[in-house]
Structure 1
């Protein structure tokens, strides 16, 4: 005689739990917009830090160019004045670069 397998409570509990989890996972919506916003906000904060650093370096470079230009006015060497103007222009570009990038990004 072969022994028949009976359906005991342990097997019924496992089957019930599997059906319950299957029912929960089948109707779970995925909200990808929330994940995208958190990633974008993290990159925006990194961008703000880098933009502040670039702007600060640009301000120092601009100040250095102005002082160099004031010194070059006392000399007759034209190349010193042109280098000072180049440094002033580079400082202005570095100071305004974060704002220019935001304008380009919006457009």
Structure 2
């Protein structure tokens, strides 16, 4: 490395150190009670939206599995029946999971 590259590197290191130091020492002017309530309300809204989407997709997947299972009963195909049962189980898990997460978090204490 030549002298110009070394000086450029040193100046860049000093500037980055200064920027990081200023960012770490920036005070936060947030109300402790109101700030956490605003954040928790936002996260609860997002969680409710995602839970509704997952539950809806799970119910569609469950119905698809039930109809596929009914069709496989007519064909007597073991592979198709197995796939149908897997779809039914996956749909049940997706439907039940959004309702189980609050129960689990309440019992753990998170």
Paired residues, number:
78
The 3-state SS of whatever aligns with 2:74 is: coil
Aligned pairs for 1:21-32 (under 5 A) are 31-32=31-32
- Deviation per CA, 1:23-51: give whole Å up to 9, x if none: xxxxxxx7401110110010000000000
Please list the CA deviations of residues 55-89 of structure 1 after superposition, one character each: whole Å capped at 9, or x if unmatched: 00000000000000000000121010011000000
Distance, in Å, in 2 between the alignment partners of 1:31 and 1:78 is 62
Question: What does 1:24-103 correspond to in 2, within 5 Å?
Answer: 31-103=31-103
Q: Hey, what's the Cα distance between the residues in 1 that align with 2:31 and 2:86?
A: 51
- C-alpha RMSD of the superposition: 1.0
The TM-score normalised by the length of structure 2 is 0.68
Distance in 2 of aligned mates of 1:31 and 1:91: 43
**Residues 3-37 of structure 1, C-alpha deviation per residue, up to 9 Å, x if partnerless?**
xxxxxxxxxxxxxxxxxxxxxxxxxxx74011101
Offset at 1:100? 1.1
| Greater Rg over alpha carbons, structure | 1
Unaligned 5+ residue runs, structure 2? 1-29
Greater helix proportion:
2
Query: Structure 1 segments of 4 or more deviating over 6 A?
Result: none
Q: What is the aligned partner in structure 2 of residue 104 from structure 1?
A: 104
